[in-house]
Structure 1
Amino acid sequence: MVEVAAERGRQASSRVSEEGAGWRCRRIGTFKDLRPNKGSFSWFNPRTLWHSRNQVVAGLLGDPSGQVRRRWMASQQARGADPEFRIRPEVGESFSFLLLGDTGEGDASQYAVVPGLLKLGEETDFAVIASDVLYPAGSGNEYCDKFFRPYKDYDAPIYAVPGNHDWYDGLGGFMRVFCDAHPLKPAPDPGLRGLLWRRPETIDEGGLAEARKLRDRPSQRAVQPGPYWAIETPSLLIVGVDTGIDGSIDRDQAEWLRRTSRDPRPKLLVTGKPIYTRNAHKPSQLEGGGTIDDIIRDPANRYVAAIGGDVHHYQRYPVKVGDRVIQYLVSGGGGAFMHATHTTPRVDVAGVHEDEFRSYPLRGDSLSFYSQLYAQRLHMKWLYLTPAEASAIMAEQIGNTPVRAPQPVEITWRMRLAARLLGGVWNSRFRLPVETVFHRYLSELSDWDTPPFFKQFLHLAVTPDRLTIRCFAATGCLPQEVDPPLEDEVVIALS
């Protein structure tokens, strides 16, 4: 079924037509009937900002995630967790699974992913969430509508590695839901950080038990050993790491990662922070020295790909390392609002040529989306750039032919000024917020319930000889629910 869907998806993607991108959406998808009739969280709420304070506290006073993580892992081992934190699903040499990142806003953009995910995930053996299972602060009391309800009909286990937002709750909600762990006893943290640090919220166990009933079939049940783990299969070892708040990896986890990486099987890394993103190399630091990419690049460890969340869209960098190519991917479009792709300059990092790089949404679609957003909210119609205009502007900036068949467009001063203000011209000294600042503080200025959403998820198929990674889109439009667009595909040899 996936092969047939992929063939149809190639012809229906944003790389082929504006309709494939979800522009001029005439029929809204069925996802609207899945979403509970509740509003999503608001970053304008002072209570939300206060509950999310650990990001600021960690940046100013140091990130204690490594210390807390060691306590969680010691507690898990005392409860009898696998000493090497292995997960052993019942799969053969050939199997498939889903991967999606940055999921849990509980709003339309998260639920828009669900129909396509269920359709293409019917025969998959499990799923993995890479980073930020829950927004805004990882509370165990918010998992019902942001985890159990959206994936109630996915009939297989779901595993996860946490993101920074999951750590805003001290990882309490994540550990309770995914590891069946009980709260840690409070540990003294003298000084200002200990005073300000947000501790795990007390979980309503009755409410959590009711939420669990939404995913309580035997085929769905799963308990993972900790926030980092390795999924053992005959053909591939899938290694998940926990990057905490600031992206670093504590000494115990680094030692475990080195041991695990000596396994002779080919490996795929799943991480809360991507190693390559926005034309930059940003590997997680290992406590004691070195980076996670040092382990990935070591040919003896046989890593073939690394997938990270945290950034809310899709990117892929095929990086040549010696005589082989390692695929570095970002897959953070599983539910949270889209981060811009049009602010990514012409790609040249690590020798990757622009024509080898892949992203979703396309830069032109990203620029057009933000132009429409600001044109509406600021009541400045001249800011709006059509998809064709935005594509032409980005092609001029990048210096290549647009991916989609270009339409005749005469670039005007109005279009250049709009692109400059929206970040589509990189040397602009002034630009409107379109990335992290926008997402965190200004998202409430927009109606996030209107397609296209430019969401995505991955379908990964494994055989003894190869790993096939496909990126499917979710726009929120009915045609893309019926036939999810295939935005990217890469086949990796495992032999």
Structure 2
Amino acid sequence: MSSENKKTPLFKLNQPDDNYKFQPLPEPFGEYPYHLKPEMSLPDPHKMVFQVAGDTGGLKSPSFQKLIAEEMGKQYYQAKNPADRPMFLYHVGDIVYHFGEADQYERQFFIPYKDYPSPVYAIAGNHDSDVNSNAKIPYSSLAPFTSVFCGKAPRPVPFGSKLNRMSGMQPHVYWTLQTPLANIIGLHSNVPKFGVITEEQKAWFIEELKQAATEHSDKAIIVCVHHAPYSADFNHSSSLPMINFMAACFETAGVTPDLVLSGHVHNYQRFNKTYANGKTVPFIVCGAGGFDELHWLAESDEVMYTDKSELFDTVTLENACTMQHGFLNLEIEKTEEGHQINGKYYAIPHEGLKPGEDAALFEEFTYFCKHGDKQAVQ
């Protein structure tokens, strides 16, 4: 078998339909259109740094998720310039494996992240959204997740040893985080392997894109969804439902975002997609945050996959980091002409770090979006 990997996204062939796993969504905690605008004082009003990680939960080898949390926190404390400190972590899903159980939050989230210095915001992954039918105490989909991350006001989390832990204030399981330099639109893609998004959420998303476009001269537009639209990995590969969903929404709204972030696939991949209006949008998979099973890329002659699709014609795989755990630092910088997005991906070898060793910088990248760029999808 060839050792070469594909340079484009892939579809995995002959996948069974598992949409029967779809779970109904909980009622929202806040008012439509589900915005959260936390108090956020930037040391430099033209610069904001935050971190991204996904699929952090750990069962067999919890040391990996602990390492990721420690390394992200270390970057906060070691920053020489206050403006370089990450303001928050945006989690792209799969916090608790395998069924989002309340009794697993202590081990998989509360303990590893107890010393993380910044707020944590999150969208739910497929495992967070699933339900363990054999649980001793029955629970509904996303009940533990919303107990930790959602609410009209902070309230005690009803499980875990530290009962004084307070919940977040996210208004719904799909919602927009309004920060000084970016509108971050978080979607909920449910349980099935390639994701499912309801028509109600689709209508909301289109309106959020339109609203974000009205503020685009001041704020970048970032979209987050757990199921990765594009991937070249051997396990999941690309999600046709998410590709079609994004394309339809961008066209209807007449808006293309500046960046799309995902998890689900347990590695790091950075794709560029060029739209008909000439805009290049990075689609970044950031799902190597701690779960012990990592995903490599499919090899070039693997017969279970195909890259033969016109949907991939303007999509290229720019870089990938596989079989290592890692996280992403993003810096949004506002200039007179537009927004610059600077990224740094840090990786940790599967065998861990030596005493005193830091996560290694795997790659740096920069994207620039001029304020005058056309947003309409043509």
TM-score by length of 1: 0.56
Which piece of structure 1 moves more, 106-115 or 276-285?
276-285
One-letter code of the match for 2:121? Y
SS at match of 2:329: strand
Take 1:147 and 1:330, find their aligned partners in 2: how far apart are those partners? 21
Name the structure 2 match of 1:257: 205
Q: How does 1:98-137 map to 2 (within 5 A)?
A: 98-106=51-59, 107-122=62-77, 123-137=85-99
One of 305, 325, 344 as aligned partner of 1:470: 344
Aligned-pair distance for 1:59? Answer: 5.4
Alpha-carbon contact 1:459-1:469 (below 8 Å) kept:
yes
Take 1:268 and 1:297, find their aligned partners in 2: how far apart are those partners? 16
**Which has more helix, going by share of residues?**
1
One of 211, 233, 238 as aligned partner of 2:162: 211
Pair 1:222–1:134, CA change in 2 (3 A): same
One-letter code of the match for 2:345? C
Instruction: Kindly provide the CA deviation profile for residues 463-483 of structure 1, in whole angstroms up to 9, marking residues without a partner as x.
Output: 212111221112253359633
Alpha-carbon contact 1:104-1:147 (below 8 Å) kept:
yes
Name the structure 1 match of 2:8: none
Instruction: Kindly provide the CA deviation profile for residues 20-69 of structure 1, in whole angstroms up to 9, marking residues without a partner as x.
Output: xxxxxxxxxxxxxxxxxxxxxxxxxxxxxxxxxxxxxx95672442xx21
One of 238, 250, 263 as aligned partner of 1:309: 263
Q: How does 1:51-200 map to 2 (within 5 A)?
A: 62-65=20-23, 68-69=24-25, 71-73=26-28, 76=29, 81-91=30-40, 92=42, 93-106=46-59, 107-122=62-77, 123-169=85-131, 170-180=141-151
Alpha-carbon contact 1:102-1:333 (below 8 Å) kept:
yes
Aligned-pair distance for 1:82? Answer: 3.4
Q: How does 1:186-335 map to 2 (within 5 A)?
A: 207-208=159-160, 210-211=161-162, 213=164, 222-246=168-192, 247-263=195-211, 264=213, 265=216, 266-278=220-232, 281-284=238-241, 291-296=245-250, 300-322=254-276, 323-335=278-290
Pair 1:342–1:480, CA change in 2 (3 A): farther
Name the structure 1 match of 2:4: none
Name the structure 2 match of 1:455: 325
Whether 2:318 is the aligned partner of 1:357: answer yes
Alpha-carbon contact 2:187-2:225 (below 8 Å) kept:
yes
- The answer for unaligned runs of 5 or more in structure 1 is 1-57, 182-203, 367-453
Take 2:54 and 2:202, find their aligned partners in 1: how far apart are those partners? 22
Aligned-pair distance for 1:345? Answer: 3.3
Take 2:203 and 2:253, find their aligned partners in 1: how far apart are those partners? 18
Alpha-carbon contact 1:458-1:470 (below 8 Å) kept:
yes
Alpha-carbon contact 1:312-1:332 (below 8 Å) kept:
yes
Instruction: Kindly provide the CA deviation profile for residues 384-405 of structure 1, in whole angstroms up to 9, marking residues without a partner as x.
Output: xxxxxxxxxxxxxxxxxxxxxx
Aligned length: 305
Aligned-pair distance for 1:164? Answer: 1.0
Take 2:327 and 2:21, find their aligned partners in 1: how far apart are those partners? 30
SS at match of 1:145: helix
Instruction: Kindly provide the CA deviation profile for residues 150-205 of structure 1, in whole angstroms up to 9, marking residues without a partner as x.
Output: 11111221111111111113111111111149xxxxxxxxxxxxxxxxxxxxxx97
Radius of gyration: which is bigger?
A: 1
SS at match of 1:273: coil
Aligned-pair distance for 1:149? Answer: 1.1
Alpha-carbon contact 2:53-2:289 (below 8 Å) kept:
yes
Alpha-carbon contact 2:56-2:94 (below 8 Å) kept:
yes
Aligned-pair distance for 1:134? Answer: 0.3
Take 1:275 and 1:127, find their aligned partners in 2: how far apart are those partners? 22
Pair 1:205–1:276, CA change in 2 (3 A): closer
Pair 1:103–1:297, CA change in 2 (3 A): farther
One-letter code of the match for 1:99? V
SS at match of 1:119: helix
One-letter code of the match for 1:165? H
Pair 1:302–1:234, CA change in 2 (3 A): farther
One-letter code of the match for 1:179? C
Take 1:480 and 1:305, find their aligned partners in 2: how far apart are those partners? 35
SS at match of 2:197: coil
Name the structure 2 match of 1:50: none
One of 367, 374, 378 as aligned partner of 1:492: 367
Take 1:61 and 1:235, find their aligned partners in 2: how far apart are those partners? 37
Alpha-carbon contact 2:275-2:314 (below 8 Å) kept:
no
- The answer for unaligned runs of 5 or more in structure 2 is 1-15, 78-84, 132-140, 302-306, 371-378
RMSD over aligned Cα atoms? 2.8
Alpha-carbon contact 1:143-1:211 (below 8 Å) kept:
no
Aligned-pair distance for 1:302? Answer: 3.7
Instruction: Kindly provide the CA deviation profile for residues 273-326 of structure 1, in whole angstroms up to 9, marking residues without a partner as x.
Output: 01101176424359xxx5123334678424011111111111111111121111
Take 2:19 and 2:295, find their aligned partners in 1: how far apart are those partners? 30
Take 1:110 and 1:352, find their aligned partners in 2: how far apart are those partners? 31
Alpha-carbon contact 1:338-1:455 (below 8 Å) kept:
no
**Which has more strand, going by share of residues?**
2
